[in-house]
Chains A and B, each alone.
Chain A
Amino acid sequence: MTRKPVRRRRAPRIADENGRGIRLWELVLRYALLLAVLAITVGPFLWQLSTSLKGTHEDIFSSPPTFLPADPTLHNYERVADTIPVWDYAFNSLKVATANVVTNCVGSALAGYALARLRYRGRRIAALVFILAMLVPVESIVIAQFTTMRELGLNNTLVGVVLPGCIAAMNVLLMRNAFLNLPYEIEEAAYVDGANAWQRFLRIALPSVKGTLAVVAIFAFMGAWDDFLWPLIVLSDPAKFTLTIGLNYLHGTFANDERIVAAGTIIAVAPLIILFACLQRYFFRGVGEGAVKG
């Protein structure tokens, strides 16, 4: 009886990166710590979900707190929709995020290719422009972005929400790095065969950088869906709010019922968590690459 776990330890199913077994107490300690961190990182989301499912007659302030709703109900989700047009807001967010994905993918792939693979007068200046743009903190130019947007007559529109970040310099440089890493010979062969720049870009270069493109797409979606400061500044008409601004509005107006606010936040966060769960491999690659190399 007592020997079995010992043998298991030595059989390196559970092993560290050197292929050596991990001692049992260490493994227990690791899982205990992992679970503790899990409670801290995911716990608040679950508490929010639980609050959103609690009925009007249930005490949400009890001490000690009760985690599971006694009588789970979706009523609060209906009530959010009664207080603010939450589904319209979600649709606005979806439009903004989708547009941001398309413009960022197309725009930064094109510009990245131009920086990495094409030769023309002023290429270095073009690269410098993107690098400089990346260094400017958005927070320090929002007021001027807003006046620019007003001069263009686009303030208080969803187009105005999308435009400033629609081709992020960071993404351009990310795509440039991806194109630079492609073997040069393949394109050269196509070039000798008479393919022009557009053909080489579309048929050869672009299919080889799908991974980076996916990263750009995911981050563009997430960034647009989550953005707060810029939409807060550019949108003034409640009918055009995105979900984040709508939630802030809901919180400010109806802070007295936490159940409704909780339901609203769950509506805003659920799509992203699902998206993330499906695409997490790309997320991790993107953060690693983007932060260290970009």
Chain B
Amino acid sequence: MTSPLPTVRTAAETSANTEVTRPAKTSGERPASRVRRHLPTSPWLFAAPGLLVVAVFILYPFVSTVVNSFTDRRTLIPGEFVGLANFRELLHDDMFWTGLRNSVLYMVGVVPALVLLPLLLALLVQKNIPGITFFRSAFYTPVVASIVVVGLIWVWMLDERGLVNSLLEAVGIGRVGFLSDQWLLLLSAMAVTVWKGLGYYMIIYLAALANVPRELHEAASVDGAGAVRRFFTVTVPAVRSTMVLVAALSSVAAFKVFSEVYLMAGPNGGPAGEDTTLVMLVQRTGTGLTGRVGYASAISVVVFVVTVALMLLVLRADRKEDA
């Protein structure tokens, strides 16, 4: 890679270069390489496109969401500062409480299933038995499919005359109105979220399981622990931090649920809007020609605050147990 004879370079020759950074661990940087070269624009050119996109389309909208939440801005009207009026209105808005209730219920329903089921699934596909790669890929298919496709497939599956009801009728249970009852609808949407998320979290658990030392299992086996006992004494403690990660990821995602409920309950959120979630409410109130941008922003701020609080809560719980 380097030329056989060490070439002597003058400062002028090397000055066109932008300096390479050493990783923090390595010590002993040569003083010569600390000299700032005369093309300081070059590193910024590398980062500029990314910084620009993130600043214009993520950070600026974030700041303007917060600012808008204190105004009565509408789609075509700039709006004025109204202080906390939007937030006060939220307190008296039944739809907001419905949305908050559903988003929280969604989390409570979905998270335990998504922490536990993918772990069991990962244990099932962990052993390298013939054909296992096929099963792993097949279980991942729902993750790959678009949420719209998934939603429409399940709308058809759970239809009054759909496959699930045909099967239920064939075994003598009778047809169930999965998509017409307020609570069954929410439960069905949760089931779809779990169904779609299984494969994703399964892979995360697989990565974690690969790091569990085999000796632990063997030692437990020698001590006479059965499969169930080994699961609780060896596997669970070993993947505990992954379980926390999955809990964090899935609770944040569940709280922000939009597509599943939107597709299965319709744009208005099921019977009398009773299945509306917070993000559905953001979408519904904030868009269109008469969209109340200010009010929708206030709901968005609530979504953001709860999301961040959830992350901190889960991470803190994790640290406490470690101590």
Contact = CB atoms under 8 A, between A and B. Distances in A.
B282 A143 contact: yes
Given A44-B154, A61-B161, A18 B214 contact: yes
Most B CB contacts (10 A, CB to CB) among A113, A147, A244 go to A147
Interface residues of B, number: 115
Main secondary structure of the interface of A (DSSP, over half): helix
Interface stretch (A1-9, A74-82, A185-193, A207-215): A185-193
B249 interface: yes
23 contacts: A14-B130, A30-B127, A45-B141, A65-B167, A110-B50, A111-B47, A129-B59, A130-B54, A139-B256, A141-B300, A142-B286, A143-B293, A145-B57, A147-B293, A172-B50, A184-B26, A193-B2, A197-B43, A228-B259, A248-B263, A284-B203, A292-B208, A292-B245
B84 interface: no
Interface in A263-285: 264-265, 268-269, 272-273, 276-277, 280, 283-284
Contacts, number: 329
Interface residues of A, number: 114
B140 A276 contact: yes
Contacts of B162: 61
Interface of B: 1-3, 7, 9, 13-14, 16-23, 26, 39-40, 42-47, 49-51, 53-62, 64-65, 68, 75, 121, 124-130, 132-133, 135-142, 144-149, 152-157, 159, 161-163, 165-167, 169-170, 195, 198-200, 203-204, 206-208, 214, 218, 242, 245, 249, 252, 256, 258-259, 263, 279, 282-283, 286-287, 291, 293, 296-297, 300-301, 303-304, 307-308, 311
A107 B57 CA distance: 15
Contacts of B301: 140
Contacts of A108: 50
B124 A273 contact: no
Nearest to B291: A143
A136 B142 contact: no
A247 interface: yes
